[in-house]
């Protein structure tokens, strides 16, 4: 298919929210370079079609701040450690994109000039306009906020058309589909209904920010090859929260 024959993108500027666990591959923790490279290749396909992409990646494969706080660590300290874990994951993704010659920049909400640019909204937008993928690390730079909240905030700031939340399931269900055979999938759900039905889409701070700024969130199975491409073209994949 030639460039002229490519279908039009429904979502040209997106924020992709990746869990840190997506970088583990088959490992129990840490980063699997092969899995990270597969992710980079999948994302590079939509970048080549003209999508403007920002990525927020979690740090759960390395460190979980809330879990550590629950075991007695100071919450603020634990959250800062979690932010550093997201920066490590951002650097791993940067390495993977560089290996396949995709232009990429890492911006961090925590000052780390040796390895990342500081997060500057206008500079992030300019990078995307020039065809560079921007990886936004270190959450919002303050404790007590999750990477879901960072994704919501950054998506609004950069003028993203949607947040694509990459998961291992194909959408939002009434119950856990792995435990309940009668679980029903939502194809579309309003923010109000998600609140009423107590659907765990994001944490409440992130959810409220998306609702107040009319930011759609698409929850989809990122690990089925080709799904990311289908989402940006507007195909009915996953669940749309609107």
Q: What is the pLDDT of residues 87-143, one digit of tens each?
A: 999 999 999 999 999 999 999 999 999 999 999 999 999 999 999 999 999 999 999
173 labeled binding residue: yes
171 labeled binding residue: no
Number of CB atoms found within 10 A of residue 172's CB: 25
33 labeled binding residue: no
Task: Say whether 218 sits in a helix, a strand or coil.
Answer: strand
pLDDT digits (tens, 9 = 90+) for 9-42: 999 999 999 999 999 988 888 999 999 999 999 9
211 labeled binding residue: no
Q: Where are the domains positioned within the chain?
A: 3-241
Residue 117, token pair as written in the block: 């640019």
Give just the sign of the alpha carbon dihedral 81, 106, 159, 46.
negative
Measured CA to CA, the distance from residue 166 to residue 87 in angstroms comes to 18
- Predicted confidence at residue 75, as pLDDT, reads 92
Measured CA to CA, the distance from residue 215 to residue 230 in angstroms comes to 19
Find, among 132, 134, 102, 130, the residue nearest to 121 by Cα: 134
- What is the pLDDT of the chain when averaged over all its residues? 92
131 labeled binding residue: no
Residue 242, token pair as written in the block: 């609107």
Q: Are strands 172-173 and 162-167 parallel, antiparallel or unpaired?
A: unpaired
148 labeled binding residue: no
Contacts of 133 (CB under 8 A, 6+ apart): 43, 47, 53, 54, 55, 97, 102, 103, 104, 105
Confidence category of residue 5, pLDDT binned at 50, 70, 90? low
Confidence category of residue 1, pLDDT binned at 50, 70, 90? very low
Domain 3-241, architecture per CATH: 3-Layer(aba) Sandwich (3.40)
Q: Is the pLDDT of residue 230 over 60?
A: yes
Q: Are strands 133-137 and 104-108 parallel, antiparallel or unpaired?
A: parallel
18 labeled binding residue: yes
59 labeled binding residue: yes
Measured CA to CA, the distance from residue 116 to residue 107 in angstroms comes to 5
140 labeled binding residue: yes
146 labeled binding residue: yes
**Any long-range contacts for 114-123 (C-beta under 8 Å, 24+ apart)?**
115/87, 115/91, 116/87, 116/90, 116/91, 121/157, 121/158
80 labeled binding residue: no
222 labeled binding residue: no
- Predicted confidence at residue 6, as pLDDT, reads 59
176 labeled binding residue: yes
Q: Is the pLDDT of residue 179 over 90?
A: no
Task: Say whether 77 sits in a helix, a strand or coil.
Answer: helix
């Amino acid at each position: 298919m030639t460039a002229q024959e490519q279908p039009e993108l429904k979502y040209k500027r997106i924020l992709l929210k990746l869990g840190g666990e997506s970088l583990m591959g088959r490992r129990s923790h840490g980063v699997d370079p092969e899995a990270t490279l597969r992710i980079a290749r999948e994302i590079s396909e939509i970048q080549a079609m003209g999508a403007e992409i920002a990525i927020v990646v979690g740090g759960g494969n390395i460190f979980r701040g809330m879990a550590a706080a629950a075991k007695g660590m100071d919450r603020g300290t634990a959250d800062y450690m979690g932010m550093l874990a997201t920066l490590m994951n951002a650097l791993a993704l940067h390495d993977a994109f560089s290996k396949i010659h995709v232009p990429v920049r890492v911006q961090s909400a925590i000052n780390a000039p040796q390895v990342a640019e500081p997060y500057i909204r206008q500079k992030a937008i300019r990078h995307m306009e020039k065809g560079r993928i921007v990886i936004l690390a270190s959450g919002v730079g303050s404790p007590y906020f999750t990477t879901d909240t960072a994704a919501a905030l950054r998506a609004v700031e950069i003028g993203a058309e949607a947040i694509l939340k990459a998961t291992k399931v194909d959408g939002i269900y009434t119950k856990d589909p792995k435990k309940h055979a009668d679980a029903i999938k939502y194809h579309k759900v309003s923010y109000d209904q998600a609140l009423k039905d107590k659907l765990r889409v994001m944490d409440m701070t992130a959810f409220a920010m998306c609702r107040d700024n009319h930011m759609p969130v698409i929850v989809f199975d990122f690990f089925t090859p080709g799904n990311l491409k289908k989402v940006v073209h507007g195909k009915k994949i996953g669940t749309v929260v609107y």
